[in-house]
Structure formats: C-alpha cells, structure tokens
Amino acid sequence: MVTDEHDRIFEDFERENGFSAMPEVVSEVLFALQSSRTTMHEIGEIIKRDPGFATRLIQYVNSGAYLTANPASSIDQAVRIIGLGPLKGLCLGIPVFSRYKHVLGVREIWAHSRATAICCQIVSEAVRFPEPDTAETAGLLHDIGKVVLAVSAGNFFLSQIQIADASKRDPDWKQEKELLGFNHCFIGGWFARKFKMPQSLVDAILWHHEYEKSRYGRDLACLCMVGDQIASAIGLTHPDDVFVDPGLVGALKHLGIDDELFRKILTHSLERVGRMVAYD
Ligand SMILES: [Fe+2]
Ligand SMILES: [Fe+2]
C-alpha cells in the first residue's frame, strides 16, 4: 500500500501541478531569475503581464510579511521590497496556495507558512544568518508538502491526522511516515527539487523537523524548525500541528540562541505576526 500510495500521490500531483499547470508568468520569472544579470525592473515588467499574480504579490507584501513604512502600491515597489531571492519561493508558493485555497486545511497551512516566513526572517536577523532571503523562503515553503497531501490524499489527510486525538498522538510528520511511508517534508523536498530550488533550501524543507539529518543546509533546516515552532507556539498553525518539538531546545542551542535572545525573538515575532493576522 505504501509504495502504491506514494506513487499515486506523486504522479497525480505532478500531472496537474507541474510547470505546465503554473501561470505562464511564473515560469518566465523563474527562468529570468536564473540569470544573475536580471534586474528588478525586468522582473517587474514580466509580472505585470499577469494582473492576477501581480495583485496577489502586492497583497502578500502588504499583508504584514515585511516591515514597510508605506504599503506597496505598484509591482515595482513590491518586487523591491521582496527582493529577488524570496521572489522565487513566492512564484511557487502563491500559485499553489491560491489555487487550492478552497481545499480543507489549505488556508490554515498558508497562514502558518506566512507566519513561519516572518519568524524565520526574525530568527535569521537575530543570529545574523548569512542568507536571510533563503531562510524566509524556507519558512514560506516548509510545509508545502502538506498542500500536496491535502489535495492528493485528502481523505487520508483528514481521517488519519486532523481528527485524531491530539493528546495521544505523535507529531503529524511521524504519523504520516508511519502510515504512508513518507511525510510532508519528503513531498516538499521533492517539490522544491522539481522547481530547481537551491540544494540548501531543498534540504531545509526536507529536514525541517529533523535538522540533524541535513547534509547540505543544517543551519538553515535548524533555523526553519525554530521559525516553524515559534509560529505554532504563538497560535499560527494548522489544526493538526499542536506540538512543541522536543528537539527545540537543542535547535536553539545549535543556533546560539540563549533565553534572553529567545525572549526578544518571541516578542518581535508576536508583534509582526499579530500585524499579519490583523490584516487578514
Ligand atoms: Fe512541517
Ligand atoms: Fe510547519
């Protein structure tokens, strides 16, 4: 059953959600971003050709995802605020999440993912992580595998995970592995690889619950785990994710975050995520 289920989920999702199913502008932006000479202005010009995507990108910028003095009112401003690094993740995240926003559970996953992206920004700034853009993207995409599960294995997703007795069960990622033979981290890693995300980002998505296993981006995976846990702890989580990971203490130590710094990170995260929730 495990192998059949695995193949079916991957094949179904790939058939309907590969590059061909993405808005044309997304593949154009991703292609343009492959060149280091591409300018923000050029990216803005491509995005303007798809008013729907452009609107969603501006909405994202203005939804509390960034600290800005004034809301972005044009796509050029939005691209400048986001920066070219995180744009790639948004090109993948926005179409997938908006396409499936009516699927049960996906709205919560999107809110949790946006909150995690904010928390990852804050943690990376606090520990002076050298690639803050990648950290933000990791936060945004870390649970994208859950969308694949919700869409392709909806009945399984709901019956086995969401309505289970929260106090007596293992974390979702462990349950998924036990029941399906793989979990949302594995699916997310596969998805990110398909879209040619950098190896460290693929690894962070793959190991965001088990950062010690990461070979190509352990610090990033660890940071993503901390951002994920903070977003969950302050209430921004999907219904099935109510756990404080026992590995959190080790992860904080790995990143050199002491009690005082953690308190500051939590306060800052509460404030920023609170702003996001108010906008919603
Ligand atoms: Fe997760
Ligand atoms: Fe998560």
* Cα 163 to ligand 1 centre (Å): 17
Of 117 and 24, more confident: 117
Quote the ligand 1 centre to 235 CA distance (angstroms): 15
Which protein residues have their CB within 5 A of the ion that is ligand 2?
143, 228
What is the whole-number distance in angstroms between the Cα of residue 41 and the centre of ligand 2?
Answer: 33
pLDDT at 267: 94
* 111 CA distance to ligand 1 middle (Å): 13
Tell me the average pLDDT of the chain.
86
Q: How far apart are the C-alpha atoms of 219 and 156, rounded to whole Å?
A: 33
pLDDT score at 26 = 85
- What does the pLDDT look like over 93-150, one tens digit per residue? 998 888 888 888 888 899 999 999 999 999 999 999 999 999 999 999 999 999 888 8
- DSSP-assigned states of every residue in 196-253: T--HHHHHHHHTTT-GGG-SS-HHHHHHHHHHHHHHHHTT---TT--PPPTTHHHHHH
pLDDT-derived band at 19 (thresholds 50, 70, 90) equals: low
Say how many Å lie between the CA of residue 230 and the centre of ligand 2.
10
* pLDDT for 178 beyond 70: yes
Q: Quick one: pLDDT at residue 240? A: 53
Q: Which ligand is nearest to the CA of 211?
A: 1
The Å distance, Cα 49 to ligand 2 centre, comes to: 33
For residues 116 and 135, the answer to whether their CB atoms sit within 8 Å is no
Asked whether residue 163 carries a pLDDT value surpassing 50, the answer given is no
Closest ligand relative to 161 C-alpha:
1
How far is the centre of ligand 2, averaged over its atoms, from the C-alpha of 59 (Å)?
A: 22
Whether 22 shows a pLDDT value over 60: the answer reads yes
- Which pLDDT score, from 0 to 100, does residue 168 have? 58
Domains held by the chain: number: 1
Predicted local distance difference test score (pLDDT) of residue 222:
97
How high is the pLDDT of residue 160? 56
Q: How far is the CA of 112 from the centre of ligand 2 (A)?
A: 7
* pLDDT exceeds cutoff 90 at 92: no
Cα of 67 from ligand 2 centre, angstroms: 22
Window from 75-79, 215-219, 237-241, 251-255 with minimum mean pLDDT:
237-241
Give the Cα separation of 225 and 138 in Å (integer): 10
User: What is the reported pLDDT for 244?
Assistant: 67
pLDDT tens string 32-75: 988 889 999 999 999 999 999 999 999 999 998 998 888 999 99
Please report the pLDDT score of residue 165 as a whole number.
47
| CATH (domain of 21) | 1.10.3210.10
Domain that holds residue 137: 2-279
Q: Is the CB of residue 89 less than 8 Å from the CB of residue 96?
A: no
What pLDDT was estimated at residue 164?
46
Q: How far is the CA of 75 from the centre of ligand 1 (A)?
A: 31
Which tokens is 118 given? Answer: 């904010």
Residue with tokens 């859950």: 146
Give which of 227, 214, 213, 233 is closest to 257, Cα–Cα.
Answer: 227
Local confidence band at 85 (pLDDT 50, 70, 90 cut-offs):
confident
Q: Which ligand is nearest to the CA of 176?
A: 1
Residue range 156-178: mean pLDDT, rounded: 66
Kindly report the length of the chain: 280
Residues 109 and 150: beta-carbon distance below 8 Å: yes
Alpha-carbon dihedral sign for residues 210, 212, 214, 218: positive
CA–centroid distance, 66 to ligand 2, in Å, is: 20
| pLDDT of res. 61 | 94
